[in-house]
Chains A and B, each alone.
Chain A
């Protein structure tokens, strides 16, 4: 078996805050094959964006790695010097952000920004970079590319800006793009267009995609594998379809159940009680146990061990039986 494109091995990150050390990532491990697409879901503060930032070496200065390693095509990144790390990453990975307004520099034309990586990292001539920029803008579905090259970000609509952001990410010719909630700030029709574009690119360019979102429907549409994150750790992994049909973790189950289903309308949506744990404090037992409908004494006693994200598994002691609990509760009502 060949080495996976990206391997995250036992990665832990802490951030210094005024309230104390925040353990944002706790022993995160996963691997992503070249050309595959992985969706990472979780609620705000679960560490999903931080996982991307930790892999890409874009952590804020108050954060530090406390354990683990990231391997890109088998090469350990954190062991390398910052400049070597940056060089490897920039060659292989592009990124798209949530808010296309802050993802583009307001004082530079979009054309300049698309041409920047080819010109100043890869050393292309201005003319060659310009041709490439026009080609890329065509690829992301922008008509009138020649004219739009000299537009500034504020002159374009949100959907167009996000397409430009994708073109910028592709300009460095990456093998994989990281998407940090790229459709959250867009309205639904534009969202669908951007997703279709990403799917197209994935197929045409054999591009790997790591997709971070809290929108389960989006993951269903675009990803092969699903990773569910909670309290700085992956708690469930598996193929998207199978996991959606048969979630192994009560958290995933609750998330899916709390999404409205147009076919079976209910008077009151299912909801997850409480709020995510405070990661500045030591955790006791399973971090989801205080909010879990199936929590039992062993859940509070110890935390389920870290899961192997290559398998279809969940970090839960009661994967097999938690549904019965719910039926009992609902039956009693």
Chain B
């Protein structure tokens, strides 16, 4: 009997609860995430405001829940798109080789040569602020990892006997790619995406913290940390709570990722 990975279920439970809470946020809280109440600004946690209020009197719990909507959705999309583009390009480059492969791999090398945030900041300046541009930015930088992983696996798998046999039996190329290559190279990309989604959420928070991501007054954790940092000595919970949420989400995603890796890599 294999040792069960409880960690993965803990991760799934935390993330599931948070996702559910984000989805039903309007029913969980009576406050609006952007409406200000300057009289009650920087209030301590109380019965009315469970996690207190920020500098503009907005309910922190409400903003955390609405912020989760942005961060989780953007985090998911910012892994999904790089996954799709990187995998498709890696399949084509690995299978056909030639000049396309050579060109693509040089682009990958160049992209990897830059520190991630340097490129991300440059792109977000080009595309402007907002969730959409964050997804575009991370996609433009993030596809290279998937492309490399998939291409390397394709190079191995395409020399395996069953692929040779499929080629010799005269199957069309797209069938060989979809049925014989793709299912046998994708597990590594999936495994990687699990750790990538953690980094992707951190990237969104970081970009927003730097003022390049989601802009005010939209609720978003990175922006909330940035807005709250001035009060860290007195009203510490204002920047602390969104920061803590980032840690919780990153940790539960790591747990899920580790669990999946354990299942794939026996």
Using CB atoms and an 8 Å cutoff, list the residues of chain A in contact with chain B.
53, 56, 58, 60-61, 86-87, 89-91, 93-95, 97-99, 102-108, 113, 116-117, 120-121, 165, 168-169, 171-172
CB within 8 Å of A: which residues of B? Answer: 97, 159-162, 164-172, 175, 179-180, 183-184
Question: Which listed residue (B162, B168, B171) contacts A120, Cβ 8 A?
Answer: B171
Contact A102:B162 (CB < 8 A) given known A61-B97, A107-B184, A108-B179? yes
A56 B165 Cβ-Cβ under 8 A: no
How many whole Å from B176's CB to the nearest CB in chain A?
Answer: 10
Query: A97 to B165, Cβ gap below 8 A?
Result: yes
> Is B161 in contact with A103, judged by CB distance below 8 angstroms?
yes
Q: How far is the CB of B71 from chain A (nearest CB, A)?
A: 35
23 A–B contact pairs at CB < 8 A? A58-B168, A87-B170, A90-B170, A91-B170, A98-B161, A102-B161, A102-B162, A103-B162, A103-B165, A105-B179, A105-B183, A107-B183, A116-B166, A116-B171, A117-B169, A117-B170, A117-B171, A120-B171, A121-B169, A165-B165, A168-B165, A171-B169, A172-B169
What's the least CB distance linking B152 to chain A, in Å? 15
Check B171 against A121 for contact (C-beta < 8 Å): yes
The interface residues of chain B lying within 8 Å CB-to-CB of A99 are 161
In Å, the complex CA distance between A61 and B159 comes to: 10
Contact of A95 among B164, B175, B180, B183 (CB under 8 A): B164
10 further A-B contacts with Cβ under 8 Å, apart from A61-B97, A121-B172, A165-B165, are A60-B159, A86-B170, A89-B170, A90-B170, A105-B180, A105-B184, A116-B169, A116-B171, A116-B175, A120-B171
Q: Which residues of chain A come closer than 8 Å to B184, judged between CB atoms?
A: 105-107
A60 to B166, CA, bound (A): 15
| Distance between Cα atoms of A99 and B160 in the complex (Å) | 10
Q: Return chain B residues, CB-CB under 8 Å to A108.
A: 179-180, 183
Min Cβ gap B39→A in Å is: 63
**Contact between B169 and A90, CB atoms less than 8 A apart:** yes
Among A86, A121, A169, contact of B165 (Cβ-Cβ < 8 Å): A169
Q: What residues on B are CB-neighbors of A104 within 8 Å?
A: 162
Q: Check A94/B160 contact, CB under 8 A, given A105-B184, A106-B184, A120-B175.
A: no
CB distance from A132 to the nearest CB of B (A): 14
- When C-beta atoms are compared, the residue in chain A nearest to B96 turns out to be A61
